[in-house]
Amino acid sequence: MLDSSILVGHNAIPLGSGIAAPVVTPEQNDASEQNDATEQNDASEQNDALEQSQQVARTLASVIAMQSSCDRCSTLHQAAEQVVRTVKDECLASEVVLLWRKHNGQGLAMIARTGDRSKPQSDQQTDAAEDAMIIAAAEESAARDSLTTWPVTDDINRHASMSIGQLAKTLSIKSILAVRLSEADSIDESLSGRGVLMLMNAQSSSAQSFLRVASIPLSSSLTRICDEQPSWIDSALRSTMQMTRGRRGRIMGGCLVLLMILMLLPVRYRVTASLEMQPVQRRFIAVPFDGPLKQAHVKPGDSVAVGDLLASMDPREIDFEIAGSRAQWDRSEQERKALMVDHDFAGSKLAALDLERLKNQIELLELQRQRSEIRSPIDGVVVSGDPVQSEGMPMSRGESLFELAPLGEMVAMVAVPEADIAEVRSGMEVTFFVHAYPNRKISGIVERVHPKAELRSNENVFVAEVLVKDPGGLFRPGMQGRASIIGDRHPLGWNWFHPAIHAVRHAIGW
């Protein structure tokens, strides 16, 4: 019979039932605990790797979905709006800003931005300052080839984040993430930084990895959309082609053709300008001799005929001079007779000459005496001059008293703008009216155009003269009005749009 004691070894202990149980030593217990810890570490690493793989898969899926949504957009601004909304939701950011440069060498421009739209907008100066700080921070980030973070964890690069730090301090932002949007196959460093995507206060732990993964495909999509944007000419042609489709489009196309034909119709060009009525000739009435003014008999606006009394001078001084000259003549005559009696023929000859001088002086004074009454030399109207306040005061010879204008004929002085002077010449028909008689249309012919420009109402103009018959005496010098000079024929489109075309050419220096 097998002895049960044989089954008992150093690794087993006897059981009460007679069956031997294994015995665990302290060394075996430590080894078992180490194996369990190793298995737990392996399981944890596997879980971490699995979670990391899942996170990478989610990130790639989000990036692919965002790139797909961008590819479906037709314009750069639509794609940018889609990007900022997606990035904000994915990274749990308070605000996302996308900046882009359309061409090499240009600065970054903000094309899309999210934020709290419920907040009241600040004034324009504050918004402009905030935008300037964001653009400066983006330019600073675009100069880097790596992800830009704030607060800066690397002291070496702290000096290169001054604009980002100022932005964070001014807007009270806790954290900023910015990545340069560059193409993977870009050789030129200046072309690699087409844009910058900036996140503020991102709460997601995977925000940095998301930006690193999304930067290259996002830059590729936006670059393609930007390069494929049609020019304004292409956009206009496409819009025109779309409009011409269908019945409504054909109607609009026909109307457009008719409009173009209408623009080519030859129509006389009309030059509109202001005018002022002036007399054909002016007669100035002056003081005939030195002396006091006795009385003025007319005032401005009065109609006068030839020979009507206008004013009279006080003749008393002339009468005194005439009386004195006659007394001298009588005395000289007596002296001449006495010399003749004494046979002083030389002295009598001198006395005769003195008598002749006094005679001429008296005739001159008498002529001035006759001219003391100032009369009108023409039929007309008193335009200016009101010397009533000067009555009794001494006047100097040649001093103007009145201005007379003849009746029956006036001249319209049309102020043609310098820009239209090439379209105006003598012999052209003119229609005009004066503000005093707006319902009365008057026609005339351009008699002549002044060769020298004049400055009127701060505008350089050339004066064109138009003779106007006025038998009823309706017009008065100084009346204002508007004139239309009928010029040569030009296409209707030229008549309407040539001033605007000339203004644009002048503005661009062409």
Write down all domains in the chain, each with its CATH number in brackets: 52-114+126-229 (3.30.450.40), 283-403 (2.40.50.100), 406-508 (2.40.30.170)
Walk along the chain (510 residues) in steps of 10 and give the mean pLDDT of each run: 37 43 53 64 67 71 78 80 85 87 79 66 67 85 79 62 82 86 59 77 80 81 78 70 70 84 91 92 82 83 84 78 80 78 76 81 78 82 79 82 84 92 93 92 93 90 93 85 93 88 80
Helix axes 26-71, 76-91, angle to 10 degrees: 160
Distance of alpha carbon 331 from the chain centroid: 88
What pLDDT shows up at residue 189? 46
What pLDDT shows up at residue 434? 94
Compute the distance between CA of residue 158 and CA of residue 209 in angstroms, rounded to an integer. 22
What pLDDT shows up at residue 18? 46
Compute the distance between CA of residue 237 and CA of residue 240 in angstroms, rounded to an integer. 5
Query: Closest Cα partner for 464 from 409, 406, 417?
Result: 417
3-state secondary structure of 50: helix
Distance of alpha carbon 475 from the chain centroid: 42
What pLDDT shows up at residue 9? 41
What pLDDT shows up at residue 41? 67
| Lookup: tokens for 289 | 């001799």
What pLDDT shows up at residue 30? 58
Compute the distance between CA of residue 374 and CA of residue 304 in angstroms, rounded to an integer. 13
| b (16+ CB within 10 A) / e for 428-438 | bebebbbeeee
What pLDDT shows up at residue 213? 80
Compute the distance between CA of residue 382 and CA of residue 403 in angstroms, rounded to an integer. 6
DSSP 284-338: EEE--SSEEEEEE---TT-EE-TT-EEEEE--HHHHHHHHHHHHHHHHHHHHHHH
Q: Write down the residue that tokens 């003849």 correspond to.
A: 406
Compute the distance between CA of residue 219 and CA of residue 84 in angstroms, rounded to an integer. 13
97 phi, psi to nearest 5 deg: -125, 135
Compute the distance between CA of residue 483 and CA of residue 257 in angstroms, rounded to an integer. 34
Compute the distance between CA of residue 400 and CA of residue 403 in angstroms, rounded to an integer. 8
